[in-house]
């Protein structure tokens, strides 16, 4: 561990230059294996555990360097293609992911195929060395700034639904792709609906061959649940956006990072670690920030507030410890069945508790929210609470995590059926051709 961090720090000393463009810096970082250190060594990674990758990202941030390109390319597309793609596909796609050259989105969910993803009806029909795609996708995060999409489409309707799906890497900037934003209750438009009308994708952009898309998609979903789940640590996220559409690649890398902080010597005064009503310096993350607000407005004197602060801290710690359990199991070539699903469920509990606890702490001020910077500044001035906008936005957003990435109900079904071995609901989905199944209205 120490050797790895020393290697990272030495590499940063030799290579970080704030005057490089974002593209130049990310090329150095990605080709050296530090942008995606969890990837295998044959896919521009170093084969590290997720926990060690968090330490690498934190070391990059503490050095004052720009961190790895974020987004669904690095989180989902890269590891999926590294696992299922050919060497040629790894070189074609993963290289541009780790160097931030291309941004990705996920074209999975459909209006009639959300929880039952295998019931998707977007179809791809072969035309020589290309496939012609028609259909509609929804809840596409970052679709408006994506260069490529992870597309699952039906390539055979005469076999059971799970067997007739194929997985493609599709170019988003083409005439047959229409991207329309979906406005959320937070006021933002992170999601999109995507209409595919005679869109084209090359046959050599199919990952793992015709009809194998369901297995590939399940790998993507597993990476998604692990990334969204509780216990991911404090891995830093780059402020610059990857891809050719966002427009950050030609900008100066140093403009996206804060001034490198000076290291402080530890205090010799034991009283500096103590705070009123229980030592909140020991709390982590948002729990500590909410505790500070509760101290300032007196709600910390409410025993139920203190209980929920500890619940919030405990959920975060359980997630962190579960991540360490996964790391330990991997060292012995073992897995912990269902841990990704459990982590996803834990994240849902965590964001709901953040929502309810935050609103209880700020009281009636929680009804004040603005959708623009001027309004947020006015609310901060009126209430004297700089964190209020964060709390109210988290409250509005909290309804999302229990739905996206697979609903809580889907996660429980997976745990029950695939981990605990409980019987599945009776149906003929796995033996009846998709063309004969009843379709959602």
Q: What is the pLDDT of residues 312-356, one digit of tens each?
A: 999 989 988 988 898 888 888 898 999 989 999 999 999 999 999
* Domains and their CATH numbers in the chain: 2-98 (1.10.540), 104-228 (2.40.110.10), 280-406 (no CATH)
In the numeric block, the tokens 């070391």 are attached to 59
Helix (H, G, I), strand (E, B) or coil at 86: coil
Q: Give CA–CA dist 321/416, Å, rounded.
A: 23
Residue 280 confidence (pLDDT): 41
Q: What is the pLDDT of residues 24-47, one digit of tens each?
A: 999 999 999 999 999 999 999 999
What's the number of CA atoms in the CB half-sphere (13 Å) around residue 249? 17
Question: CA end-to-end span of the chain, whole Å?
Answer: 54
The predicted model gives 374-401 an average pLDDT of: 93
Asked if 365 contacts 388 with a C-beta cutoff of 8 angstroms, the reply is yes
Q: How confident is the model at residue 259 (pLDDT cuts 50, 70, 90)?
A: low
Q: How confident is the model at residue 225 (pLDDT cuts 50, 70, 90)?
A: confident
Residue 404 confidence (pLDDT): 81
In this predicted structure, which of 290-294, 298-302, 316-320, 394-398 has the lowest mean pLDDT?
A: 316-320
Who contacts 253 (Cβ-Cβ below 8 Å, separation ≥6)?
A: 17, 18, 19, 20, 21, 22, 24, 25, 65, 66, 240
Tell me the whole-structure pTM to 2 decimals.
Answer: 0.81
The predicted model gives 212-219 an average pLDDT of: 97
* 380-388: long-range contacts, CB 8 A cutoff, minimum separation 24: 385/293, 387/289, 387/293, 388/362
Q: What is the pLDDT of residues 100-159, one digit of tens each?
A: 999 999 999 999 887 789 999 999 999 999 999 999 999 999 999 999 999 999 999 999
Whether pLDDT at 281 is above 50: no
Whether pLDDT at 299 is above 90: yes
Who contacts 140 (Cβ-Cβ below 8 Å, separation ≥6)?
A: 105, 106, 107, 109, 149, 179, 191, 192, 193, 194
Whether pLDDT at 275 is above 90: no
Average pLDDT score, the chain: 89
Q: Which residues pair with 167 in a beta bridge?
A: 152
């Amino acid at each position: 561990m120490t050797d790895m961090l020393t290697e990272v720090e030495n590499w940063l000393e030799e290579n970080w230059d704030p005057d490089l463009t974002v593209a130049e810096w990310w090329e150095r970082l990605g080709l050296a294996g530090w942008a995606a250190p969890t990837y295998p060594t044959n896919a521009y990674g170093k084969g590290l555990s997720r926990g060690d990758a968090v330490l690498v990202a934190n070391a990059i941030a503490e050095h004052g360097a720009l961190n790895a390109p974020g987004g669904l390319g690095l989180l989902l597309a890269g590891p999926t293609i590294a696992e299922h793609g050919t060497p040629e596909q790894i070189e074609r796609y993963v290289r541009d992911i780790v160097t931030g050259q291309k941004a990705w989105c996920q074209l999975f969910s459909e209006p009639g195929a959300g929880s039952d993803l295998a019931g998707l009806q977007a179809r791809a029909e072969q035309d020589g060395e290309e496939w012609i795609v028609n259909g509609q996708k929804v809840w596409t995060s970052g679709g408006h700034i994506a260069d490529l999409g992870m597309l699952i489409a039906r390539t055979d309707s005469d076999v059971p639904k799970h067997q007739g799906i194929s997985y493609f890497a599709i170019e988003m900037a083409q005439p047959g792709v229409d991207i329309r934003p979906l406005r959320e209750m937070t006021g933002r438009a992170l999601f999109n609906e995507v209409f595919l009308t005679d869109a084209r994708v090359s046959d050599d952009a199919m990952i793992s061959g015709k009809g194998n898309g369901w297995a590939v998609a399940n790998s993507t979903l597993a990476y998604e649940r692990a990334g969204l789940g509780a216990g991911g640590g404090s891995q830093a996220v780059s402020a610059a956006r990857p891809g050719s559409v966002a427009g950050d690649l030609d900008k100066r890398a140093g403009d996206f990072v804060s001034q490198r902080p000076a290291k402080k010597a530890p205090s010799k005064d034991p009283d500096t670690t103590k705070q009123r009503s229980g030592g909140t310096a020991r709390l982590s993350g948002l729990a500590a920030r909410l505790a500070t607000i509760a101290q300032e407005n007196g709600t910390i004197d409410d025993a139920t507030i203190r209980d929920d602060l500890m619940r919030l801290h405990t959920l975060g710690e359980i997630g962190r410890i579960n991540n360490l359990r996964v790391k330990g199991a991997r060292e012995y070539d073992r897995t912990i069945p269902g841990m990704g699903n459990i982590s996803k469920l834990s994240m849902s509990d965590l964001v709901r508790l953040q929502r309810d606890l935050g609103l209880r702490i700020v009281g009636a001020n929680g009804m004040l929210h603005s959708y623009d910077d001027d309004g947020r500044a006015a609310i901060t001035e009126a209430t004297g609470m700089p964190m209020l906008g964060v709390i109210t936005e988290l409250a509005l957003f909290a309804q999302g995590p229990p739905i996206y990435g697979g609903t809580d109900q889907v996660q429980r079904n997976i745990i029950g059926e695939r981990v605990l071995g409980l019987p599945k609901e009776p149906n003929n989905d796995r033996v009846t051709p998709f063309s004969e199944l009843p379709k959602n209205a």
